[in-house]
Amino acid sequence: MKTTIPKKDSIVHDWVEIDADGKTLGDVATCAASILRGKHKVIFTPHMDTGDFVIVTNASKIRLTGQKATNKIYYRHSGYPGGLKATKYGDLLEKNPEKMVEIAVKKMLPKNRLGRKLFSNLKVYAESTHPHAAQKPRKIEV
């Protein structure tokens, strides 16, 4: 049996919409990362972009289980001495829920140039409206 590698011209990138209303952060991020990679397709190839575009709506209504809202902390560093910033996930959910979903998905993608390319195919919105209606995304249930 011979392994076939798809050509760039034959890869079709569809649009998928995930409604995060009432869903847990991990479930939504796992589903989005898998679709971005293209693991749901027969032509999946680890070193190529075979995935679809993903739209995540209602990010402000996403759910955190247990004590994650108060205990889980997102760290970032400016690169300068003493530049460590810490933000609790509960505060991040209130102020910038899109960022919280983006962080979760980005950490599930490969840490290379392919992962950066795949991450650009993710669109996250806090509310149920989005400007991608012309692409006719199909809705999937998490």
H or E stretch covering 69? helix 68-71
What pLDDT is recorded for position 98? 97
Any domain includes 1? no
Any domain includes 69? no
The predicted-structure confidence for 60-90, as pLDDT tens digits, reads as follows: 999 999 999 999 999 999 999 999 999 999 9
Any domain includes 22? yes
User: Which pTM does this prediction carry?
Assistant: 0.93
Give 71's strand partners: none
DSSP codes of every residue in 94-139: HH-HHHHHHHHHHTTS-SSHHHHHHHTTEEE-SSS--S-GGG-PEE
Number of domains in the chain: 1
- For residue 51, the enclosing domain spans 8-64+97-140
DSSP codes of every residue in 70-83: HH-EEEEE-SSTT-
Any domain includes 76? no
Burial degree of 24 (CB within 10 A; 0-12, 13-18, 19+): middle
Collapsing DSSP to helix, strand or coil, 96 comes out as coil
Confidence of residue 3 (pLDDT cuts 50, 70, 90): confident
Whether residue 2 is predicted with pLDDT greater than 90 in this model: the reply is no
Single-letter amino acid, residue 101: V
Residue with the two structure tokens 């760039």: 8
CATH code for the domain of 40: 3.90.1180.10
Q: What is the mean pLDDT of residues 37-52?
A: 95
Any domain includes 58? yes
Any domain includes 35? yes
What pLDDT is recorded for position 4? 85
Confidence of residue 17 (pLDDT cuts 50, 70, 90): very high
Any domain includes 81? no
